[in-house]
Structure 1
Amino acid sequence: MILSHRLKALLLAVFAMVSVPVVSGDTYDIDPYHSSVLFAAQHFGAGWNYGRFNEFEGTIEYDASNPAATKINVTIKAGSIDTANAKRDKHLRSPDFFNAAQFPKITFKSTKVEAKGDVMHVTGELTMLGKSNPVSFKLTKTGEGKGMQGETLVGFHGEGSLKRGEFGMNYGIAKGALSDEVKLVISVETVKK
């Protein structure tokens, strides 16, 4: 029996669809009570000053058998910035920096993940002060366990940096008061849905 070219093409397309497995990872909620979002900026070229955000939420879709399929979505409340100095925190919430009243949310959504074992190189879109730019960081799976109620927990640790001037946060850069580069350290514990 001779098959027409169209029928052959259709059969090949159907075979390709059914032979490619659909990989779907589990979804994990970030536990804000056992997680940290930290940053650091250099002051007048000398010490690095650290701060944190106290309010954030998000999900990580993760499949240990296919880490490259990982997807990350995070939302941070800009007004929750905390540097252990009330006067400085008030200034950081102002239009000179995060302008938290006008731009209350900072968001990150991953667009690409390259994985080697438990180490992932994550690229995504960070939106801050109404501007979106790509950022990249290294993310490592740190471990997993069971919580008090038997829930599945998975930990991740990430480090990277960004240039705040790319988002329009230029205060203090020209005079060298604060570095353009901001270091990021993210350590999260997640709970399987």
Structure 2
Amino acid sequence: MKKTLLAAALTTLLAAPAASANDYVIDTEGAHAFIQFKINHLGYSWLLGRFNDFEGSFSYDESNPEAASVEVTIDTASIDSNHGERDTHLRSGDFLDVEKFPQSTFVSTGFEPDGNGGGVLHGEFTLRGVTKEIKFEVDQVGAGEDPWGNTRRGFEGSYTFALADYGIDYELGPDAEEVEIYLSIEGIQQ
């Protein structure tokens, strides 16, 4: 019996896919990754903010960039616009409805490389329980070894969408119907 269990465990371990040299964990612990947003405020200025808690990973192989992929999960309650009362409102049912929808996700479905490390990233973005196919341009910021012997790779990109597309219909005026999400992602190779 013990030999059978040991053999089954070894078979499972050997059959499990190992982390590839092209796999990266997004460095949120070291605060080297950011998800920020920008929306017009009444036509007078810009309201900027961020999501403080998120996690994710990506895969990128310079010899096969078409196979690149990324997955990100955002804790929507971590929204931070540097104003407590406004953040409470943003967490409410008028906007993110974080009690009902505690997470937002992005899962890539394809990548069209541009030959310079960046390209157009396709995927499914879910916010407030609504999932939509999106695409946006990303640029590779850089890649290489850090001072501690880790290999890092970084990308940035932005995506603009209408709030109404994700069920947010709170009246903010015609200049505030769209929000821009900006991502600056640095990953540590696994």
Q: Under TM normalisation by the shorter chain, which class is it?
A: 0.7 to 0.9
2:123 maps to what in 1?
Answer: 124
Q: Give unpaired runs (5+ residues) of structure 1.
A: 1-23
- After TM superposition, give the deviation of residue 147 of structure 1 in Å: 3.0
CA distance in 2, matches of 1:35, 1:121: 20
For 2:120 and 2:78, how far apart are their aligned partners in 1?
A: 27
Equivalents in 2 of 1:181, 1:36: separation in Å?
20
Q: Secondary structure at the match of 2:77?
A: helix
Bigger Rg, which one: 1
Q: Share of identical aligned residues, percent?
A: 38
Superposed displacement of residue 66, structure 1: 2.0
Q: CA deviation at 1:184?
A: 1.4
- Calculate the TM-score normalised by the size of structure 1: 0.82
Q: State the match for 1:91 in structure 2.
A: 89
Question: Which residue of 81, 97, 102 corresponds with 2:79?
Answer: 81
Residue range with higher mean Cα deviation, 78-87 or 132-141? 132-141
Instruction: Give 2:5's aligned residue.
Output: none
Decide which of 174, 177, 181 is 2:178's aligned counterpart: 181
Q: Report the TM-score, using the length of structure 2 for normalisation.
A: 0.83
Q: What are the equivalent positions in structure 2 for 1:130-145 lying under 5 Å apart?
A: 130-145=129-144
Give 1:60 deviation, angstroms: 0.7
Cα displacement string for residues 61-114 of structure 1 (whole angstroms, at most 9, x for unaligned residues):
101122221111000000000010011001000111001111100000111211
Aligned partners of 2:66 and 2:98: how far apart in 1? 34
Q: Distance in 1 between matches of 2:66 and 2:47?
A: 33
Q: Note if contact 1:172-1:178 (Cα within 8 Å) is conserved in structure 2.
A: no
CA distance in 2, matches of 1:122, 1:25: 21
CA distance in 1, matches of 2:187, 2:87: 28
Range that drifts further, 107-116 or 73-82: 107-116
The answer to whether the 8 A contact 1:25-1:70 is kept is no
Aligned to 1:34: 32
Partner Cα separation in structure 2 for residue 85 and residue 105 of structure 1 = 21
In structure 2, distance between residues paired with 1:100 and 1:178: 25
- Aligned residue identity for 2:154: G
- Say whether 1:155 aligns with 2:154: yes
Q: What is the alpha-carbon distance in structure 1 between the residues aligned to residue 125 and residue 99 of structure 2?
A: 19
**3-state SS of the aligned residue for 1:73?**
strand
Distance 1:40 1:55, change over 3 A: same
Equivalents in 2 of 1:71, 1:25: separation in Å?
14
State the SS of the aligned residue for 1:149: coil
Find 1:64's aligned residue among 42, 62, 65: 62
Residue 88 of structure 1: SS of its match in structure 2? helix
What are structure 2's unaligned runs of at least 5 residues? Answer: 1-19
| Alpha carbons 2:26, 2:188 under 8 Å: kept | yes
For the residue of structure 1 that corresponds to 2:66, the secondary structure is helix
Aligned-partner residue type, residue 134 of structure 2: V
- Match of 2:63, SS state, is coil
Aligned length: 168
Q: How large is the RMSD of aligned CA atoms in angstroms?
A: 1.5
SS in 2 for 1:154: strand
